[in-house]
Structure 1
Amino acid sequence: MSEKLAKTALTPATHTTPPAKFSHGVRKGNLLQVAGQVGFGPAAEGAAPTPVGPGLREQTLQTLANVEAVLTEGGAGWEDAMMIRVYLTDTAHFAEFNEIYNEYFASLQEAPAARTTVYVGLPAGLLVEIDALAVLG
């Protein structure tokens, strides 16, 4: 019988405690799932997190930084990402998002991750949410 792999919750120091019972990321064996991250900057102790800016560029770059922080906390990087899911609030943002995304990953040497983009409703002020699945080793 095989040994059961431990499941580890991940919360980078830059992240606040989630508002419900979930983890920012979970690693089990060589799999790392990053929960949906949004464009919140690091919040001051006791302060509510807020979006970094009203624009798609600022929020996308912060969201990607937040996903990367969880990947790093779990011992991974973008080169380990197999799947990235993007949630946009406005179909008109698709082309601009792709420009920002392509710029962000321009220096990635590995094959790019697979990606899905869907349109959703997010809390007021938020324009984008991103999650990722990474495989390590």
Structure 2
Amino acid sequence: MIKRYGIEGGKGTGGQSLPFAKAVAADGWLYVSGQTPMIDGEIIDGGIIAQSQLAIQNCLDIVEQAGFSKEDIVHMKVFLTDARYFQSFNKVFKEFFSDCPPARVCCVADLVVDCMVEVDMTCFNKKFK
């Protein structure tokens, strides 16, 4: 069985409706779509620290809404717009995941919204199999 979360009206920049689910669960796995440092369709002001905190928190909120926990996160993908943000992002990452760090990839990429970071998460919990 596949369950989709957040298909009923996710909003992107400028209030546009997003054409994808915030997350999809299947056979114990949860795949969280990439999250940016956005509140109500607007990217927050602030540097890489504030933007990293919100992007991660936005993912964690979706994880929790789907019934998973931080301990269920097995992998993250991180997209930074500048390699110089790497150390600052790692400090934020450690604040969130010091006791249960997931595997991770981090790369530099142009993002389709005007922010410094985007993250996604993959979770697993056998109770959802």
Tell me whether the two structures share a fold, i.e. TM-score over 0.5.
Answer: yes
Give the CA deviation at 1:20: 4.0
Give the CA deviation at 1:124: 4.8
The CA RMSD measured in Å over matched residues stands at: 2.0
Q: Does 1:59 align with 2:54?
A: no
Instruction: Give the length in aligned residue pairs.
Output: 122
* Structure 2 unaligned spans of 5+: none
Higher-Rg member (1/2):
1
User: Percent identity, aligned pairs only?
Assistant: 23
TM-score w.r.t. length of structure 2: 0.85
Deviations 1:65-123 (A, max 9, x none): 110011112111110011011000001111111111112223x3x4x210000110013
User: Is the strand fraction higher in 1 or 2?
Assistant: 2
Write the distance in 1 (CA, Å) between the matches of 2:23 and 2:67: 11
Distance 1:126 1:97, change over 3 A: same
TM-score w.r.t. length of structure 1: 0.80
Match of 1:134 in 2: 123
User: Is the helix fraction higher in 1 or 2?
Assistant: 2
Q: 68, 71, 78: which one pairs with 1:86?
A: 78
Q: 74, 90, 93: which one pairs with 1:101?
A: 93
Write the distance in 1 (CA, Å) between the matches of 2:62 and 2:31: 9
Are the equivalent residues in 2 in contact too, given 1:39–1:59 (CA < 8 A)? yes
* Structure 1 unaligned spans of 5+: 1-5, 44-48
Give the CA deviation at 1:58: 1.1
